[in-house]
Amino acid sequence: MARPIGNRSGASHAPNSRRRRIGLAALTSLSAVDILRCVSKTSVEVDRDIAAQAATILGTTTLRDTIHASLVEIVNAKRRLELVALLSEEGRFDFDAAASAWGGDE
């Protein structure tokens, strides 16, 4: 289990405690190379106060989950901006056709 965000004790954890729990079906469908390509372990310095604020916003309870959710949110925010830019191009999207498709003209 990952260390809670508020834990500043610095106590070490057993080596197996940080292992990600995944289902048997997912495990059998992935090769060792696929698993290593998807997940990596690194060491970084993290501002615990900012991490705690992010955890509150994201609804996460561990530092690992907070970092993961933050990265996912950044990627999703970028995708939303790209979609807005795409839809705002002249002639790219016909809002009148979309409205009438859902009975907007009735």
Domain containing residue 50: 15-101
Residue 10 lies in a domain: no
Q: Residue 89: pLDDT above 60?
A: yes
Beta bridge pairs of residue 4: 62
Classify residue 54: in a domain, yes or no: yes
Nearest to 54 by CA among 45, 43, 63: 63
pLDDT single digits (tens) 94-106 = 777 777 777 655 5
Two tokens at 102? 């859902």
Q: Shortest CA distance to 68 belongs to which of 7, 17, 76?
A: 76
pLDDT tens, position by position, 8-56: 444 444 444 444 555 555 556 667 666 666 777 889 999 999 999 999 9
CA distances from 20 to 2, 38, 39, 56, 84 (A): 9, 12, 10, 22, 35
**7 in a structural domain:** no
The tally of domains found in the chain comes to 1
Q: Classify residue 5: in a domain, yes or no.
A: no
Residue 32 lies in a domain: yes
Task: Note the pLDDT of residue 75.
Answer: 94
Looking at residue 30, its pLDDT comes to 66
